[in-house]
Copies of this chain bind each other. A is one copy, B any other.
Amino acid sequence: MLSEFTLIDHYFARRAREHTRRAALGIGDDCALIAPAPGEMLAVSTDMLVEGRHFLPDVDPHALGHKTLAVNLSDLAAMGAKPLGFTLAFALPKPREDWLAAFSAGLFELADLHDCELVGGDTTAGPLNLCITVFGSVRQDVALRRDTAQPGDDVWISGTPGDARAGLAVLRNDWPQMPVDAADAAYFRRALEYPQPRVALGLALAGVARAALDVSDGLAGDLRHILERSRVGAAINVDALPISPALARLPRELQVQCALAGGDDYELCFTAAQARRDDVEAAAQQAGVRVTRIGTITSPQGGIGANQDARPAIAWHDAAGAPLNLTLQGFDHFHAD
């Protein structure tokens, strides 16, 4: 029988007490007490990860600990918020010490890296399910929203999207006809299992970029969320997509599919005024993350007053400006919700 108190205390509460005590009151009381810095808002996001849907049953628990927190920190990054703390609720079929030890190690290594404190939790018996709610601090006037893109803005992407999707293909043997050498396979798996939330980049972009989100479901689909909420369109240069050397060794069509429709990248897609290009590059350099300009925000098709329910258009083109007709629908990726 799973006991909340012994389990939490051994792997989580004791470890949490070693953290800097930012929370006035943490695990062990009814609530944790936290506060954003004076003049700042608290940014809050929640994500639930389910076995078979967000990770494979035989996932390395250390990687799972990392990723469970990483996908939440990525939401803070996309807001330009500084991580403060998180709550962890999880259901486990039965408590396995080796599993918990590895899971908590992966979780706390990333938490420590971002100075993000475990402030509360709940454990229960049940099918494996992980739910994290993360808290950050951000000034409301520089928060990176989704509804603030403007026609003429550049569209940027961090890192090299598509690698995580290739990692899933390697794990599931999706492409049996496709030779992937061992070093590339390891690189792709790491992209899938240990995504790095772009926290430093998000902080550096706050006040520089206009709209932003993190790419969890694929660049093409997620960019549409910015377009919908900002009521704009976009023209994207497919030849400008940043492709990793490993992904570049796969057929070109697969590169584009992975980069545009693959999930689980957790890169930042953002827009910024053309006049801020130098500032964007400086922010990226400060954060140590590559950013690439891939397109432009356009006026909504049909202009003001047009049917607002219409699917916001992304016009794809190549480096020469010739239109491309991409079919991205139905390209299965792992993280579908």
> Contact residues of A with B, CB < 8 Å?
1-4, 24-25, 28-36, 40-54, 75-76, 78-79, 81, 87-91, 119-127, 129, 131, 133, 135-136, 138, 140, 143-147, 212-214, 229, 336-337
Name the distance in Å between A254's Cβ and chain B's nearest Cβ: 24
Partner of A44, one of B49, B91, B120, B146: B120
Least Cβ distance of A181 to chain B in Å?
34
Please state if A31 and B50 are interface contacts (CB–CB under 8 Å): no
**Chain B contacts for A90, CB-based, 8 A:** 48
Query: In the assembled complex, which residues on chain B have CB atoms less than 8 Å from the CB atom of A28?
Result: 146, 229
A124 and B45 contacting across the interface, CB-CB below 8 Å: no
Is A50 in contact with B125, judged by CB distance below 8 angstroms? yes
A110 to chain B minimum Cβ distance, whole angstroms, is 18
Q: Report whether B124 and A79 are in contact in the complex, using a CB–CB cutoff of 8 Å.
A: no
Contact of A91 among B34, B48, B79, B214 (CB under 8 A): B48
Given known A-B contacts A3-B337, A41-B24, A136 and B50 have beta carbons under 8 A apart? no
For the complex, give the distance between the alpha carbons of A90 and B43 in Å.
Answer: 20
Interchain CB contact under 8 A, A45 and B120: yes
Contact of A126 with B52 at beta-carbon distance under 8 Å, contacts A47-B89, A120-B45 already known: yes
Residues of B within 8 A of A32 (CB): 43-45
Cβ–Cβ contact B125 & A127, under 8 A: no
> With contacts A54-B124, A140-B24 known, is A41 near B33, CB below 8 A?
yes
Q: Is the interface of A mostly helix, strand, loop or mixed?
A: strand
- A172 to chain B minimum Cβ distance, whole angstroms, is 18
Task: Evaluate contact between B79 and A122: CB separation under 8 angstroms.
Answer: no
Cross-interface CB contact of A46 among B33, B52, B87, B147, cutoff 8 Å = B87
Tell whether, in the assembled complex, residue A42 and residue B35 are in contact, meaning their CB atoms are under 8 Å apart.
yes
Whether B46 pairs with A120 at a CB distance below 8 angstroms is: yes
Smallest distance from the beta carbon of A148 to chain B beta carbons, Å? Answer: 10
Asked if A30 and B136 make an inter-chain contact with CB atoms under 8 angstroms apart, the answer reads no
Q: Which of B4, B35, B229 contacts A337 (CB 8 A)?
A: B4
Bound Cα distance A257, B151 (Å): 68
Check if A48 sits within 8 Å of B122, measured CB to CB. yes
Cβ-defined contact, B214 with A143, below 8 A:
no
Contacts of A76 in B (CB 8 A): 30-31
Closest B residue to A43 by beta carbon equals B31
Note all chain B residues with C-beta closer than 8 A to A42: 33-36, 42, 135
Among residues of B, the one whose C-beta sits closest to the C-beta of A147 is B29
A33 in complex: contacting residue of B29, B123, B143, B229, CB < 8 Å: B143
Known A24-B41, A89-B48; judge A337-B2 contact (CB<8 A).
yes
**Partner of A131 from B25, B89, B138, B212 at Cβ < 8 Å:** B89
Q: Whose C-beta in chain B lies nearest to the C-beta of A47? A: B122
> Among the listed B34, B52, B79, which residue makes an inter-chain contact with A30, where contact means beta carbons less than 8 Å apart?
B79
CB-CB under 8 A for A34 and B41, given A4-B337, A29-B79, A126-B52 = yes
Closest chain B residue to A8, Cβ basis: B337
Q: Is the CB of A44 within 8 A of B31?
A: yes
Q: How far is the CB of A146 from chain B (nearest CB, A)?
A: 5
Q: A30-B75, A44-B119, A46-B131 are in contact. List 15 more A-B contacts (CB 8 A).
A: A3-B337, A4-B337, A29-B146, A31-B43, A31-B45, A31-B76, A33-B143, A46-B122, A49-B124, A53-B124, A89-B133, A123-B337, A127-B129, A129-B129, A133-B133
